[in-house]
Structure 1
Amino acid sequence: MTNRAVISTPNAPEAIGPYSQAVKVGSTVWLSGQIPLVPGTMELITGDIQAQARQVFRNLAAVAEAAGGGLDNAVKINISLTDMGDFADVNEVMAEFLCAPYPARACVQVAALPKGVAIEVEAILAV
């Protein structure tokens, strides 16, 4: 696929597995799921779900910027939570990072996430 570009930035955490931070094909960018890791140190943000969610959305924003866009270019967001009781708090944080009209979204509860975190978010952008 000649129009496929791998997106990478030091402003987001390095991949912790065999995947890219994002892949761009044409004007569509698929951002891999981000967890609350601090770029550079790879330190996990733990505790308060809003603090975790803010780090996740900062990470996504950094990858989106490296792809030539921003979170306002998101057309689809997928959120995985280990506790659906965190739904309202995550909505609050998401509204800090995205503006109306909001992208389509799914939010699901999962049994576990990498490194034992409470949240992972992935996105699709149209840039």
Structure 2
Amino acid sequence: MANTVINSSNAPAPIGPYSQAILANNVLYISGQIALEPSTGNLISDDIETETHQVMKNLQAILQEAGLDFKDVVKCSIFVKDLNNFTRINAVYGGYFTQSPPARETVEVSRLPKDVNVEISCIAVKTS
């Protein structure tokens, strides 16, 4: 089975040599998303909640392009610049996974692309 590149115009274009997502054997691997607004390319960083919502909207656009939704996500990785923001990020993130949340890790890092505060990647499984 060949890998399929998934690209949504409703999510920001990659800022490097990578794809938004790859579908391989019914598993969707979504690259880390940051809070770039897709139509303008502007960074959304008013506050950590708004930034996290934009990250989740970008993930959602890619999931939808592949015919999936958050209920299909089995694993997320969250990278944060300041773990003191964890509770606020988690509150927003949890609103997108209302039942059976996926496996996850959250890691504090010293720096992220474009100096954002949060980056999230995920893996989803296509069952139909």
Would the TM-score normalized by the shorter structure come out above 0.5? yes
- 2:98 equivalent in structure 1: 99
Q: Deviations over 1:63-112 (max 9, x none)?
A: 00111101111100000000000111111001111122100000000000
- 1:74 equivalent in structure 2: 73
How much identity, in percent, do the aligned residues show? 38
Pair 1:57 & 2:56 matched: yes
- Which consecutive residues of structure 2, in runs of 5 or more, have no partner in the other structure? none
Tell me the CA shift for residue 53 of structure 1. 0.2
- 1:120 equivalent in structure 2: 119
Tell me how many residue pairs correspond in the alignment.
126
Tell me the CA shift for residue 40 of structure 1. 1.5
TM-score normalized by the length of structure 2: 0.96
C-alpha distance in 1, partners of 2:84/2:72? 28
TM-score normalized by the length of structure 1: 0.97
Structure 1: 4+ residue segments shifted above 3 A: none
- Which consecutive residues of structure 1, in runs of 5 or more, have no partner in the other structure? none
SS in 2 for 1:97: coil
- 2:39 equivalent in structure 1: 40
C-alpha distance in 1, partners of 2:2/2:17? 21
In structure 2, give the amino acid aligned to 1:67: A
Q: Deviations over 1:34-87 (max 9, x none)?
A: 000000200001131000000000000000011110111110000000000011
SS in 2 for 1:15: coil
The worse-fitting range, judged by mean Cα deviation, of 115-124 and 88-97 is 88-97
